[in-house]
């Protein structure tokens, strides 16, 4: 592994095609025989540090259409939180289902699961039939794994019945020194970013792009007002940037002054601190408080000069969904990709049908959408929102921090990269965007501007 790393750091990644790939590599895993370890424990008390391991696993061989990548850096996504607490179900159920689908899928059905749905790295080996990529190419990966044997996936690959999220519903994910992906997951690494910066965005940026911008999502327009829950978090920090980029106005909801400051540094002006304002949308476990929806809607109008949101960017789910449907403008869109606080949503349907609103379900992104989202990063229009970067050995602690909602933006993980700051191949472009890159490093004092 050291020889591979030396070639990459020396700036001669093309060499890696000639170097031996090790038989084993280190990855962050779960164990199938521990999947019941948290039975009876409340969600918030399940501790990822107890379930996650860092260990050596055998290196998989790339099959036709697959690529083995040396992972320089990865990042923590919320799906690794779900995996680590075995909610809503142990991910071994996904691996077992994939195992039954095909001989290629059977390689994923193992008693351990290497997690992680983002990477920045270097192509090491290509399986048969992989033409666009060669050993030595510097890449990022999006997390959509599809088979495309069925007609349904050929209009929008997210509709493939064999659609899976890599490193969550498949094995050999990115929180590791090596990773196995399909060739059509790869995209060019933005040359002006370091490895850890380049690895931060893929999953959340692509998801937010489809959710907000794509014709498959809310079709953001110039001038729209967009309510963004969790606006300093993983999804929200990219949604805020996409809204600003698209000539629209974000109204950012956060839960602390520090998180409000993150949004301000991204350029948002309308911010609601939900903790300071003390919204309690649920009176008790079964009853929502419409008075609180109204109080929230009034605050929104105060901030926007009387406008209701054209789009509500939803992911907290149960706790906020009733309010989201209520505050969206007539004809507005509530677009949802998750249910962090609970999957069973209730809302007052009168506000939906009488005011002609629509609820749109959305999930990750197809290759075209992920590519378009990555292109915005390559162009320096969207910036990584890293708050901290940890070594692979501290992944479990980082997942714990995200589970407790103590982070801002994204938490990066150094896999093979020995330190931060490596991997910039286009110093000129970096110099042009350095001020913005510093400003978007959430949780840090910006160096300039
Ligand atoms: P994240 O980095 O943890 O950010 C989530 C943000 O949501 C937090 O910063 C928090 O902000 C806010 N939040 C949490 N609980 C809330 C509540 N009860 N009420 C209001 N706001 C709340 O996670 P993420 O990466 O943005 O992901 C968010 C969710 O989307 C997760 O469940 C994740 O699994 C899911 N997701 C789905 C897809 C998909 O393709 N379907 C893709 C990415 C993520 P404040 O505390 O500051 O308000």
Distance CA 217, CA 42 (A): 33
Residue 81 in tokens: 């939180």
Distance CA 182, CA 62 (A): 9
The full set of domain ranges for the chain reads 2-205+365-439, 218-361
Residue-wise pLDDT tens digits, 224-262: 999 999 999 999 999 999 999 999 999 999 999 999 999
> Looking at residues 72-82, what average pLDDT do you find?
97
Distance CA 227, CA 311 (A): 6
Give the pLDDT score at 442: 67
Give the pLDDT score at 12: 86
Nearest to 370 by CA among 124, 121, 142: 142
Closest atom of ligand 1 to CA, residue 204: 43
Q: Is residue 444 pLDDT above 60, yes or no?
A: no
Fold: same for 2-205+365-439 and 218-361: no
Ligand 1 near 236 CB (within 6 A): yes
In three-state secondary structure terms, 226 is: strand
Q: Is residue 101 pLDDT above 50, yes or no?
A: yes
Distance CA 416, CA 421 (A): 13
Tell me the CA distances in angstroms from 434 to 193, 199, 233, 409, 412, one per residue in order.
Answer: 10, 17, 22, 18, 19
Write the DSSP string, 247-293. T-EEEEEESSHHHHHHHHHHT--EEEEHHHHT---BSSSS-B-HHHH
Ligand 1 near 233 CB (within 6 A): yes
Percentage, residues of the chain above pLDDT 90: 94
Residue-wise pLDDT tens digits, 407-432: 999 999 999 999 999 999 999 999 99
Distance 337 CA to ligand 1 centre (A): 10
Q: Is residue 381 pLDDT above 50, yes or no?
A: yes
Q: What is the CATH number of domain 218-361?
A: 3.40.50.720
Ligand 1 near 274 CB (within 6 A): yes
Lowest-confidence segment of 233-237, 338-342, 386-390, 445-449 by average pLDDT = 445-449
The CATH-assigned architecture of domain 2-205+365-439 is Alpha-Beta Complex (3.90)
Residue-wise pLDDT tens digits, 143-200: 999 999 999 999 999 999 999 999 999 999 999 999 999 999 999 999 999 999 999 9
Chain-centroid distance, C-alpha 106:
26
Ligand 1 binding pocket mutation candidate from 338, 407, 411 (most atoms within 8 A of CB): 338
């Amino acid at each position: 592994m050291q020889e591979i790393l030396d070639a990459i750091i020396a700036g001669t990644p093309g060499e890696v095609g000639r170097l031996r790939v090790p038989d084993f590599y280190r990855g962050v895993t779960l164990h199938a025989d521990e999947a019941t370890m948290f039975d009876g424990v409340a969600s918030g008390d399940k501790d990822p540090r107890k379930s996650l391991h860092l260990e050596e696993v055998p290196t998989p061989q790339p099959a036709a259409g697959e690529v083995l990548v040396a992972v320089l850096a990865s990042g923590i996504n919320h799906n690794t939180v779900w995996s680590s607490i075995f909610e809503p179900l142990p991910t071994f159920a996904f691996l077992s289902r994939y195992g039954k689908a095909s001989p290629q899928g059977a390689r994923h059905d193992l008693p351990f699961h290497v997690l992680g749905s983002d990477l920045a790295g270097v192509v090491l080996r290509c399986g048969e039939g992989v033409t666009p990529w060669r050993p030595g190419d510097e890449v990022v990966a999006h997390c959509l794994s599809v088979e495309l044997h069925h007609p349904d996936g050929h209009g929008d690959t997210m509709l493939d019945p064999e659609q899976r999220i890599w490193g969550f519903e498949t094995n050999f994910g990115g929180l590791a020194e090596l990773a196995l992906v399909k060739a059509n997951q790869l995209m060019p690494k933005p040359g002006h970013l370091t490895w850890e910066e380049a690895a931060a965005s893929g999953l959340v940026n692509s998801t937010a792009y489809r959710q907000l911008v794509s014709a498959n999502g809310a079709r953001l327009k110039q001038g729209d007002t967009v309510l963004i829950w969790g606006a300093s978090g993983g999804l929200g920090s990219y949604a805020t940037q996409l809204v600003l980029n698209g000539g629209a106005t974000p109204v950012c909801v956060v839960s602390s002054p520090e998180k409000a400051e993150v949004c301000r540094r991204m350029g948002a002006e309308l911010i609601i601190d939900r903790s300071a304002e003390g919204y309690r949308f649920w009176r008790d476990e079964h009853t929502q408080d419409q008075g609180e929806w109204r109080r929230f809607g009034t605050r929104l109008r105060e901030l926007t000069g009387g406008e209701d949101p054209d789009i509500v960017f939803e992911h907290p789910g149960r706790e906020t969904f009733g309010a989201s449907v209520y505050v969206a403008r007539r004809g507005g869109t509530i677009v949802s990709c998750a249910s962090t606080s609970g999957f069973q949503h209730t809302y007052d349907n009168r506000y939906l049908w009488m005011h002609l609103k629509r609820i749109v379900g959305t999930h990750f992104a197809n290759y075209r959408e992920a590519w378009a989202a990555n292109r915005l990063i390559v162009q320096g229009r969207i910036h990584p929102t890293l708050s901290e970067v940890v070594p692979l050995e501290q992944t479990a602690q980082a997942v714990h921090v995200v589970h407790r909602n103590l982070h801002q933006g994204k938490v990066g993980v150094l896999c093979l990269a020995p330190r931060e700051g490596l991997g910039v191949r286009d110093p000129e472009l970096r110099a042009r965007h350095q001020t913005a890159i510093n400003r978007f490093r959430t949780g840090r004092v910006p160096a300039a501007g």
